[in-house]
Amino acid sequence: MREYELMVIYSPQLDEEALTAQIERTKELIVGVGGEVEKVDQWGKRRFAYEIKKNTEGFYVVIDFKAESGATSEVERILKITDEVVRYLLVRRDVE
Per-residue pLDDT tens digits for 39-74:
999 999 999 999 988 889 999 999 999 998 888 899
Long-range pairs for 77-86: beta carbons < 8 A, 24 or more residues apart: 78/29, 79/8, 79/26, 82/22, 83/11, 84/10, 84/11, 84/14, 84/18, 84/22, 85/8, 85/9, 85/10, 85/11, 85/22, 86/9, 86/10, 86/11, 86/52, 86/53, 86/55, 86/58
Q: Count Cβ atoms below 10 Å from residue 91 Cβ, excluding itself.
A: 11
Question: What band does 96 get if pLDDT is binned at 50, 70 and 90?
Answer: low
**Angle, nearest 10°, between helix axes 72-81 and 16-32?**
150
pTM of the full structure: 0.89
